[in-house]
Structures are given as structure tokens and as C-alpha cells.
Amino acid sequence: MKSWRFWLGVIVSAVFLVFALRGQKLDEVMAALGGAQYGWLIPGIVAYFLGVVARTWRWHYLLRPLKPIPIRRLFPMVTIGYMGNNIYPARAGEVLRSYVLRRSDGVSMSASLATVLVERLFDGLTMLLFVFLALPLFPLNESLRQFVSIFTVLFLAALVVFLYLAGRPKQAERVYGWFIDRLLPERFRAKTRDILNRFMTGLHALRSGRDVALLFATSVVIWLFETLKYWFVMHAFPFTVSFFTLMLMNGVVNLFTTIPAAPGYVGTFDAPGIEILRNAGVPAELATAYTLVLHAALWLPITLLGIWYMWRAHLSWQGVQAELGSETAAQGTD
């Protein structure tokens, strides 16, 4: 909480929440929450965790060139990672699960972080696919369309860069080696080159067209499971929209959660979700109640499970930070 980044995220979240709740009658939101049929959350949570299993398989597949690790061992690490993203700022969960993987299996953090970046790349491309599939049925307003256009350019550019790096590792090594030799002090060069070399090994799965297609197909399955959760939770409330509308909502809100905000994506998840539903004809207060329950149902189960796995592994975020900080300091004095 002493970090300026934390408070910047809080401000961003507050702005999004003010935008989301503008002009609404909070007593009607509370009435909608009180009248919801919460039993529908159970199949929704099951669908979500099927998606988490699929995420675990995808990470297992990406890690194979580094070390084959059984899915049952990776599942707690994935859960810890998503818990970390939910309660710590700056998507610290990505570092956290890479740390746990290194601790348990000796896999380099720079290499495993490369696989995490590949996951995020395919997640983003899948979100854009969902948006573009739904656009003919449910066009976005101009501001949302511009936002999606920016992310389309960013993710496609990232895909091109990653495919280039994976397909031409020797050439990439020469390029970043040239910059290392000219921009860094000599005492940092060997370590930086080693980190980048390990990072490159984490991109191995992108060297095969078959692997790229399989990763993308798996990502689609993952996000369809999550959209299925949106659909189940919708049945807890007295409104109906098409599955394509929920795909659009899923795609847009998850693109917005890339904006730095308070932990748990407060506001950046809720505001665009409410706006999509309002544009689909759902009353604002009902859309707000649904989005808040959906957000809680996405956040709470995996966060609690991740906390339990972290406790069982005798880990704390403060301890991880201290160890990584001491390693960085030691490397700087080598």
C-alpha cells in the first residue's frame, strides 16, 4: 500500500466505478441482489474450474520443452497464480506461480514467464475473436470500438514479434546481444544474456504451426468455459441475452482488465460489463447486480483455493518478494 502504483490503481478503479454507477438507483440494485437465485452459481463455478483445468493443460503443454510436469502438480501453481492476480497489484500472480514452479521443479523463472506471456497473448487474441464474432449481432459504440481496435493492433503486433523470436532464435540472440554489449555495464551482460536465452527457450512451442493452432484452440475452449459461467449466472437474474452477447461481454471486460487498476480488477471489470448489458437492453440496476455477482463468483472461489494451496506450501508473498529482492541484489554485486 506504500507504492504509488497501488494508489494509482485505486484511483483508476474509483473512476470506473463512478462511471458504472452513474444515475443508478442503488436500492433497486440491492433489490435485484436480494431476489437473485444463487443456486445457479454452482454450475457456473463448476464450468469455471473446468476452464482452469484447461488452463493447466495449456501451461503443461507450453512447459514440455523445458520440463514435463504432470497436470496434477501444475494445477495448484495455476490456482496460486490467479489468486495472486486477484489480490496483489500489477498481476503479481504471474511472478508468483513462476517462482513456485522454480521452487518445486527447478524451472528457470525467465523461461516460465515467457510461457506465461504466451498464454496472455493467446488469451488476448481469443478475446478479440469473441468480440469480432459478436460484432455483427451487437455492434459496439464508438469509444468501445476504438478501444478494441487499439488492442487488436497491440496483440497482433505482439504475435508477430513472438513468432519471429521463436522462429529465428539465433538471429534474435544476435540482436539482443548487440544491445546488451553496447548498453549495459560489463558486470550485467552475462547475467542479462543468460536470462534472455532462458526466456527464448520458453517460446519453443511457437516454433510449430501445429502447436500454435493447438494452443489457440485450447484458449478458445478455456474462454468458452468462462462464458458458460456468465450464462449460468445470468439465469440467477430475470433477464436473458444471447450467448454471443455474453461472449462479447467476456471479451471486452477482459480486455479492460489489462488496464492497471486496484487488485481484483475492481471497476475495470464492472464498468464495461454493465455498459454492454445496458446496450443490450438490460435495465441498468439489473445489469449492475448481475455484473457484481458475476465478478464475485469469478474472484472468490479461485482466490480462496489459491490461498489454501499457498498456505499448504508454506509460502507468503512477503517472503517471495524478500527472496527475489535478495537474489537481485546479489546479482547486482557479482
Whether residue 147 has pLDDT greater than 70: yes
- pLDDT tier at 45, thresholds 50, 70, 90: very high
Whether residue 288 has pLDDT greater than 90: yes
114: which 3 cell numbers?
515467457
Alpha carbon 333 to chain centroid distance? 34
d(CA 80, CA 326): 22
The residue that leads in pLDDT, 123 or 334, is 123
pLDDT score of 191: 86
Average pLDDT over residues 9-27: 90
The mean of the pLDDT values for the chain is: 90
pLDDT score of 333: 42
pLDDT score of 267: 92
**Which residues contact residue 89 at a Cβ distance below 8 angstroms, ignoring those fewer than 6 apart?**
3, 5, 6, 9, 260, 262, 263
Residue pair 267/17 in contact (Cβ under 8 Å)? The answer is yes
**Which residues contact residue 90 at a Cβ distance below 8 angstroms, ignoring those fewer than 6 apart?**
5, 260
Q: How many CB atoms lie within 10 A of CB 180?
A: 16
Whether residue 2 has pLDDT greater than 80: no
- Among 329, 321, 261, residue whose Cα is nearest residue 295: 261
Domain parsing of the chain, residue ranges: 4-333
Average pLDDT over residues 77-95: 90
Where do the H-state alpha helices sit in 64-91?
71-87
Where do the H-state alpha helices sit in 235-316?
243-256, 270-279, 284-312
Whether residue 6 has pLDDT greater than 80: no
